[in-house]
A = this chain, B = another copy of it.
Amino acid sequence: MDLRQVFDDLVRFETELWNGIDTRLRSDCSVPLGSFNVLLVIADTPSCRVNDIAGALSITIGGASQAVDRLEQVGHVARRANPADRRSSIVELTAAGQRVLEQAGPAFDDELEARLVAPLSKSALAQLGVILSALRANAPRSS
């Protein structure tokens, strides 16, 4: 087994997958994949804080804070006071953010179909899912 080849394939496939979906979302919905990903986390996380976004996407706190800044700038999210902890804010989708999510969702799923489902057999896709969750579950500490 050529580990370096696996690494190379993994990194490059991820790069091309990301870029391909990003291009589609930008042209169809005027939203970058990075922003869409943040919107998804916010939609899925009750009382979502900046910290939760950083954790969910494996990015830094500073990066998450700036991503929220950008989304707030274009009116897709809003910060409101967190009644439970005055150090943080709750980040919420605005109505416009909701609409973006609903519009971009189908395009996102369509790209995933074309790039993950189409090239693989049903069983291979299922195996990929199992393998990836095993890899994430057994990742070395604090890397």
A interface residue numbers (CB < 8 A to B): 1-7, 9-20, 23, 40, 57-59, 108-109, 112-120, 122, 124-140, 143
Cα distance A10–B134 when bound, in Å? 11
Report if A58-B3 is in contact (Cβ < 8 Å); known contacts: A114-B140, A140-B114: no
- A9 contact from B9, B114, B132, Cβ within 8 A: B132
How far does the Cβ of A21 sit from chain B's closest Cβ, in whole Å? 8
How far does the Cβ of A108 sit from chain B's closest Cβ, in whole Å? 8
Cα distance A3–B1 when bound, in Å? 27
Sample (11) of A-B pairs whose CB atoms are under 8 Å apart: A1-B117, A1-B126, A3-B109, A3-B116, A4-B112, A9-B136, A10-B14, A13-B139, A23-B143, A115-B139, A115-B143
Cα distance A44–B57 when bound, in Å? 33
Residues of B within 8 A of A16 (CB): 58, 136, 139, 143
- A132 contact from B6, B115, B122, Cβ within 8 A: B6
